[in-house]
Amino acid sequence: MFTKKTTRKSKSRVKPETKVKVDEPKIKKTVGIVGAIAMMTIWPNISVQEATCSCCGVMASAGLLDRIQALRDGCGFPIPFTSIYRCPDYNKKIGGSKLSLHLLSATREDNENHGAVDCGIDKSHSKNRWTILNVARQLGMNNFEVCDGHLHIGWAPHSHAMQNRLYWGVSK
């Protein structure tokens, strides 16, 4: 845990001091400033904001984040990650499938390396899309969806209904 000391000016020229406590997340690498948790990088190219459910704040598993980082490293160019882990409530709210691989990575230990990532790469970057697809296949990706505004890359367990699926769709 670390503490940030802030000073505020008041009309009476008295400087009240406030201590703000922020829990330090378990991270591989910290980048950013104190208090900017959402902008901190927990893997070299994955921020806390990208790795957590925007509804409940639960973070994707380390195994899945390792795979996603390996995808980024293998591609050699920046990839905006728009969705990694989703809790069931958030998945339902946005109209996600009940079988969504985004639900997996934080639910059970045997799903440590399973889950999905949506990449904000639109159809105008077709060369990048093929590079992402090829690198993802080398990393064991077995679920892929090509949409007009994003790519969905998934690692499904062998018993999962979404294993070995390729979809074409429209971003929501």
| Chain segment 161-170, per-residue pLDDT in tens | 888 888 777 7
Give the number of other CB atoms < 10 A from CB of residue 19: 8
Domain ranges of the chain: 57-169
The C-alpha atoms of residue 95 and residue 135 are separated, in whole angstroms, by 28
Crossing angle of helices 126-138 and 62-75, in 10° steps, is 130
Q: Domain 57-169, what architecture?
A: 2-Layer Sandwich (3.30)
C-alpha closest to that of 67 among 149, 132, 130: 132
Whether the predicted pLDDT of 20 surpasses 80? no
Q: What is the pairing mode between strands 151-155 and 143-147?
A: antiparallel
pLDDT at 169: 74
Contact 69, 81 (CB under 8 A): no
20/142: higher pLDDT: 142
C-alpha closest to that of 100 among 87, 110, 112: 87
The C-alpha atoms of residue 135 and residue 98 are separated, in whole angstroms, by 27
Sign, CA dihedral 75-76-80-82, equals: positive
122/73: higher pLDDT: 73
pTM of the model: 0.71
| Chain segment 92-132, per-residue pLDDT in tens | 999 999 999 999 987 666 667 899 999 998 777 888 999 99
pLDDT at 19: 45
Q: Which DSSP category does 38 fall into?
A: G
Token pair recorded at residue 85: 């882990």
C-alpha closest to that of 118 among 155, 84, 166: 84
39/24: higher pLDDT: 39
